[in-house]
Amino acid sequence: MAEPAPNAWVREASPAARRKGVGAPGGWTLGALAGLLVAFFALPLAALAWKAAGSSAFWPILTRPLVMQALRLSLVTTGVTLLASLAAGTPLAYLLARRRFRGRWVVEVVTELPIVLPPVVAGVGLLTAFGRKGLLGSTLNLLGVQLPFSTAAVVLAQLFVAAPYYVRSAAGGFEGVDREVEEAAAVDGASPAQVLRYVTMPLAASALGAGAVLTWARALSEFGATLMFAGNFLGRTQTMPLAIMSAMETDLDAAVALAVLLVGGAAAVLAASRLLTRAASHRGATSPGRGRPDPGVPQPSAR
């Protein structure tokens, strides 16, 4: 008796069967384990919402000077961090995506290492580099520049831990741009600068935007490196996460209110990131055909 072909054992499950988990090994077990993990993720968030809803002082707490100063400082420092990440990270991402050079892997490792480093280690590293007796700090100190425990130190800490997220996302966006579209624009007479401006950047815009959103969110949530390098001084270095730590020592309701505010911001950032990622996927799925520029991108005139 002849054995059936290997694919004869594979049957395409109906949509109803797939919804019920038929054909998946241990469908109910997988669902139960997945449900437990999702519940574990949701429980702390639900507890924060429950605690905030039961507090009559929630809104008054958000208008306290301590909260307003921490919120203002967080918005200013993360804004500066984001601008610096865009200005310096975009050329670096383009270089990593489009150029092959000796020592490239070293640059990649150094760029991505802050993503996996514990934030406290990042803070110690920044302190030993820019502190009064640090590698560069001693020279800066002679020039009258003191970075540790200043607002500038907050920006440097956020930049160190957050900018790599933008570089990684932007590099992926540049790598995903169809080279044939760029070549077609060049054949039509576009200069390299025009190709970059009118073709490459628009096609990579969704990835750049998603990276910018993630970078801002990571900077907003930064805690360990900021505490080690900038300290926790009200109005000068106390960002929202540090304000939560301080509030935990004296006022739990204030800590909860601040935490809920950050959760809301994080949820908005996540939604924006998902929309940008989906837009990038849609653009990739509907990219123009071979050798044709994207009709939605302004085309440079031939010379």
Q: What is the pLDDT of residues 257-268, one digit of tens each?
A: 889 988 888 888
HSE (side-chain half, CA atoms, 13 Å) at 133: 0
CB 90 within 8 A of CB 172: no
Average per-residue pLDDT for the chain? 84
Q: Does domain 46-117+155-285 have CATH number 1.10.3720.10?
A: yes
pLDDT at 10 over 80: no
Spatial separation of the C-alpha atoms in residues 43 and 288, rounded to whole Å: 45
Q: Where are the domains of the chain?
A: 46-117+155-285
CB 260 within 8 A of CB 188: no
Rounded mean pLDDT, 132-139: 86
Q: Identify the CA nearest to 192 among candidates 112, 300, 95.
A: 300
Spatial separation of the C-alpha atoms in residues 229 and 131, rounded to whole Å: 8
Helix (H) or strand (E) holding 249: helix 240-250
Alpha helices in 63-118 (DSSP H): 65-98, 104-116
CB 151 within 8 A of CB 74: no
SS3 190: coil
Tell me the backbone φ, ψ of residue 134, rounded to 5 degrees.
Answer: -80, 180
pLDDT at 11 over 80: no
pLDDT at residue 16, rounded to an integer: 57
Q: Is 248 exposed, middle or buried (0-12, 13-18, 19+ CB in 10 A)?
A: middle
73-82, 108-117, 180-189, 294-303: least confidently modelled range: 294-303
pLDDT at 20 over 80: no
pLDDT at 14 over 70: no
Q: What percent of the chain has pLDDT over 90?
A: 47
The tokens 């009118």 sit on which residue?
A: 198
Q: What is the pLDDT of residues 143-153, one digit of tens each?
A: 888 899 999 99
What is each CA distance from 225 to 70, 115, 157, in whole angstroms? 17, 12, 6
Q: Identify the CA nearest to 204 among candidates 241, 179, 229, 223.
A: 179
